[in-house]
């Protein structure tokens, strides 16, 4: 009874064995389903993050990127740490052994070694973070805001008032010429006969000289610097002697002024002899990109044509002012208005050329001259008006302060005054200078901020001594003086032959017109040199610059080049 039948025991063992096999099959099936579900979940997650990484690589201005960022997609911009894992393939790598999960602590994702064939999405995300930087810089090159709006409004109001007043004076002149009788009519006939032809001839001659000087500077820049410096000395001396030969009080006064200027010009030419070679190198290098832009002279042509038309109308306004109240004060006001207007025209050309050349140096771009011209006449016109109003005055006062600094001697009072004036003018110059037009044209900054930023770049690159010793602006100024003296010689000789009493008046008008028209044309080489210095200070390692400035800096540091330009001492600054 107590013994077990062997057949029954064998059947029981087989039943237990079958039950264990079925249990194991079920467990393996459940485990396989879990692994397949986990693998499909991993694949879905990887494909999802691939999609997000592709969105992150989109341009920040792309509409799809904007929609996702605004609609909550920004929460995916930082990928979780497990995105750094490579793509996993079940056919090449066995699935990891997982421990059974517990409710208290979820299982951690196993970290697999990186695969060389897989690119971590985190690197793609880091590249997407770096992409917006050049986009923002390029956007700043096309700033749409108007700079120095107050001075833009002031210039527009002044121009409207000047046009209206000149039109009224022209009407008064025509009225006196046609409707009046007696002395007024004879006086205006005399002016039209003996004054107007010489002034118009001086305008035509100044335009011819303006084009000639600019073309000569582009073809023979090295020769033209020496030629202008010494030809201005000879022309101013010759015109002064010619006016003295007429032996009239008015012409004698003008002649003495021209002779005094020629003496100062000769002393200046001797003083800057050591700077001419370096200035010639910079001028040659800065004019090289001009040949890449065939229409770069278009703004100069337009401004010269507009200047000639306005001066022709302006002359009739001057003639009408002779029959108006307080003629001397009216004529002085007309002269100041014309000076500001032509200076704005010159700086419009300066801004146009500066933008074209600066974008070439900074971005390697060949921008449109017409588009740059439109920007200079619209968005940047306020800065041109502000700079035209203050830069000539600031530079003139700075020259006076430097002259006092050179002549101070051992007198303590003169020493204090000279250093105080030079310190004040240096501070003002750092907040308003002609080098600012490069950053105004390129980045659309205001005049004061552009002046400060440009001067800060010069200080950071140790270029202040080189900038102070530059004579390009002086050469352009002397070119205008030379043209004015040539116009004086022609107009004075002609007027003295036909009607002597008008000799001094026509000489002054001819000099003024010749100087202003030539200054407009010389804005192109001046802007090229300014761009060369300012863009070099911003990116000295650019492929467009050679070692000319670096070699000059090395010579200055070694004491082999002495910069004689007086500056404020660091202890006093």
Each residue's pLDDT tens digit, 141-158: 777 889 999 999 999 999
Instruction: Give CA–CA dist 169/60, Å, rounded.
Output: 58
Cα Rg of the chain (Å, integer): 39
191-214 average pLDDT score: 89
Each residue's pLDDT tens digit, 222-256: 999 999 999 999 999 999 999 999 989 999 999 99
232 Cβ contact list (under 8 Å, min separation 6):
262, 265, 478, 479, 481, 482, 485
Instruction: Supply φ then ψ for residue 345, to 5 degrees.
Output: -60, -40
Q: Is the pLDDT of residue 41 over 90?
A: no
Instruction: Give CA–CA dist 59/456, Å, rounded.
Output: 33
Q: 10 Å Cβ neighbour count for 473? A: 16
Whether residue 493 lies inside any domain: the answer is: yes
Q: Which of 352, 379, 319 is nearest to 196 (CA)?
A: 319
**What is the percentage of the chain residues whose pLDDT exceeds 70?**
70
Q: In this predicted structure, what is the pLDDT of residue 188?
A: 77
527-534 average pLDDT score: 95
Instruction: Give CA–CA dist 56/41, Å, rounded.
Output: 23
Least confident span in 273-287, 289-303, 315-329: 315-329
Q: Is the pLDDT of residue 131 over 70?
A: no
At residue 89 the predicted structure's pLDDT band, cuts being 50, 70 and 90, is very low
Identify which has the larger pLDDT, 38 or 527: 527
Q: Is the pLDDT of residue 88 over 80?
A: no
Q: In this predicted structure, what is the pLDDT of residue 194?
A: 82
Q: In this predicted structure, what is the pLDDT of residue 84?
A: 37
Whether residue 169 lies inside any domain: the answer is: yes
279-286 average pLDDT score: 93
Would you state the structure tokens that stand for residue 54, as one six-digit string?
A: 């592709």
CA angle 64, 66, 72 (to 5 degrees): 100
478 Cβ contact list (under 8 Å, min separation 6):
228, 229, 232, 265
If you average pLDDT over every residue of the chain, what do you get?
A: 79
Each residue's pLDDT tens digit, 544-571: 998 999 999 998 888 776 555 555 544 4
Instruction: Give CA–CA dist 147/444, Å, rounded.
Output: 7
Q: Is the pLDDT of residue 73 over 60?
A: no
At residue 359 the predicted structure's pLDDT band, cuts being 50, 70 and 90, is very high
Q: In this predicted structure, what is the pLDDT of residue 42?
A: 62
Query: What does 244-283 look like in DSSP terms, one character per residue?
Result: HHT--HHHHHHHHHHHHHHHHHHHHHHHTGGGHHHHHHHH
276 Cβ contact list (under 8 Å, min separation 6):
225, 226, 229, 471
Instruction: Give CA–CA dist 374/356, Å, rounded.
Output: 12
Whether residue 86 lies inside any domain: the answer is: no
Would you state the structure tokens that stand for residue 398, as one six-digit string?
A: 């700075």
86-102 average pLDDT score: 43
Question: What is the span of the domain harbouring residue 188?
Answer: 149-558
Number of structural domains in the chain: 1
At residue 423 the predicted structure's pLDDT band, cuts being 50, 70 and 90, is confident
Ranked by mean pLDDT, the top range of 38-42, 424-428, 497-501, 524-528 is: 524-528
Q: Which of 228, 261, 221 is nearest to 482 (CA)?
A: 228
Q: In this predicted structure, what is the pLDDT of residue 113?
A: 45
**Helix 327-363 vs helix 523-538: crossing angle, to nearest 10:** 40
Least confident span in 78-82, 174-178, 287-291, 303-307: 78-82
Q: In this predicted structure, what is the pLDDT of residue 399?
A: 77
Q: Is the pLDDT of residue 346 over 90?
A: yes
Ranked by mean pLDDT, the top range of 39-43, 191-195, 256-260 is: 256-260
Q: In this predicted structure, what is the pLDDT of residue 93?
A: 45
At residue 125 the predicted structure's pLDDT band, cuts being 50, 70 and 90, is very low
Identify which has the larger pLDDT, 250 or 193: 250
Q: In this predicted structure, what is the pLDDT of residue 411?
A: 59
Each residue's pLDDT tens digit, 361-391: 998 888 899 999 999 999 999 999 999 999 9
Q: Which of 262, 265, 264, 269 is nearest to 241 (CA)?
A: 262
Identify which has the larger pLDDT, 486 or 19: 486
Whether residue 54 lies inside any domain: the answer is: no
Least confident span in 32-36, 209-213, 223-227, 556-560: 32-36
Q: In this predicted structure, what is the pLDDT of residue 58?
A: 59
Identify which has the larger pLDDT, 383 or 114: 383
Whether residue 98 lies inside any domain: the answer is: no
Identify which has the larger pLDDT, 50 or 326: 326
8 A C-beta contact, residue 346 and residue 432: no
Q: Is the pLDDT of residue 3 over 70?
A: no
Ranked by mean pLDDT, the top range of 105-109, 300-304, 501-505 is: 300-304
292-317 average pLDDT score: 91
Identify which has the larger pLDDT, 10 or 445: 445
305-309 average pLDDT score: 92
Instruction: Give CA–CA dist 33/37, Å, rounded.
Output: 6
334-344 average pLDDT score: 94
Each residue's pLDDT tens digit, 497-506: 998 888 998 9
Least confident span in 160-164, 254-258, 411-415: 411-415
Instruction: Give CA–CA dist 502/518, Å, rounded.
Output: 24
CA angle 543, 545, 550 (to 5 degrees): 125
């Amino acid at each position: 009874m107590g013994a077990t039948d062997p057949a029954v025991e064998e059947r029981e063992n087989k039943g237990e064995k079958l039950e264990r096999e079925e249990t194991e099959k079920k467990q393996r099936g459940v485990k396989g389903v879990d692994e397949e579900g986990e693998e499909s979940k991993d694949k879905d997650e990887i494909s999802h993050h691939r999609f997000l990484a592709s969105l992150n690589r989109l341009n920040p201005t792309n509409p799809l990127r904007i929609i996702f960022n605004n609609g909550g997609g920004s929460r995916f911009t930082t990928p979780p740490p497990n995105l750094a894992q490579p793509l996993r393939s079940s056919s090449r790598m066995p699935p990891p052994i997982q421990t059974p999960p517990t409710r208290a602590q979820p299982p951690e994702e196993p970290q697999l070694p990186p695969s060389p064939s897989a690119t971590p999405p985190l690197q793609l995300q880091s590249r997407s973070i770096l992409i917006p930087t050049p986009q923002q810089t390029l956007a700043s090159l096309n700033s749409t805001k108007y700079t120095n709006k107050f001075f833009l409004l002031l210039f527009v109001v002044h121009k409207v008032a000047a046009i209206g007043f000149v039109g009224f004076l022209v009407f008064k002149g025509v009225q006196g010429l046609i409707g009046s009788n007696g002395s007024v009519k004879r006086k205006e006939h005399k002016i039209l006969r003996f004054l107007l032809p010489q002034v118009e001839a001086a305008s035509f001659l100044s335009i011819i000289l303006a084009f000639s000087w600019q073309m000569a500077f582009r073809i023979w820049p090295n020769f033209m610097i020496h030629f202008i410096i010494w030809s201005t000395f000879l022309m101013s001396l010759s015109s002064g002697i010619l006016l003295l030969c007429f032996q009239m009080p008015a012409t004698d006064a003008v002649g003495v002024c021209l002779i005094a200027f020629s003496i100062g010009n000769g002393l200046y030419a001797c003083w800057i002899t050591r700077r001419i070679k370096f200035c010639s190198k910079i001028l040659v290098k800065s004019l090289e990109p001009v040949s890449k832009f065939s229409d770069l002279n278009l703004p100069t042509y337009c401004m010269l044509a507009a200047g000639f038309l306005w001066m022709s109308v302006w002359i009739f306004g001057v003639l009408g002012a002779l029959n108006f109240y307080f003629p001397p004060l009216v004529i002085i006001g007309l002269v100041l208005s014309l000076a500001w207007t032509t200076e704005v025209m010159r700086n419009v050309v300066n801004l146009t050329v500066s933008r074209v050349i600066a974008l070439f140096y900074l971005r390697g771009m060949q921008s449109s001259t017409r588009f740059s011209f439109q920007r200079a006449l619209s968005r940047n016109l306020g800065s041109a008006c502000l700079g035209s109003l203050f830069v000539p005055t600031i530079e003139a006062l700075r020259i006076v302060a430097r002259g006092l600094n050179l002549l101070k001697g051992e007198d303590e009072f003169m020493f204090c005054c000279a250093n105080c004036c030079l310190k004040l003018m240096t501070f003002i110059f750092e907040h308003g200078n002609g080098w600012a037009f490069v950053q105004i044209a390129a980045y659309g900054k205001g005049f004061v901020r552009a002046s400060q930023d440009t001067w800060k770049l010069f200080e950071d690159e140790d270029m202040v001594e080189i900038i102070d010793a530059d004579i390009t602006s002086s050469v352009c100024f002397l070119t205008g003086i030379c043209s004015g003296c040539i116009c004086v010689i022609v107009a004075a000789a002609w007027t003295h032959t036909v009607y002597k009493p008008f000799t001094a008046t026509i000489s002054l008008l001819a000099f003024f017109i010749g100087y202003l028209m030539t200054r407009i044309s010389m804005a192109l080489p001046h802007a090229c040199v300014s761009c060369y210095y300012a863009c070099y200070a911003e990116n000295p390692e650019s492929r467009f610059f050679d070692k000319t400035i670096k070699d000059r800096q090395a010579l200055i540091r070694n004491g082999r080049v002495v910069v004689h330009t007086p500056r404020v001492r660091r202890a006093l600054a």
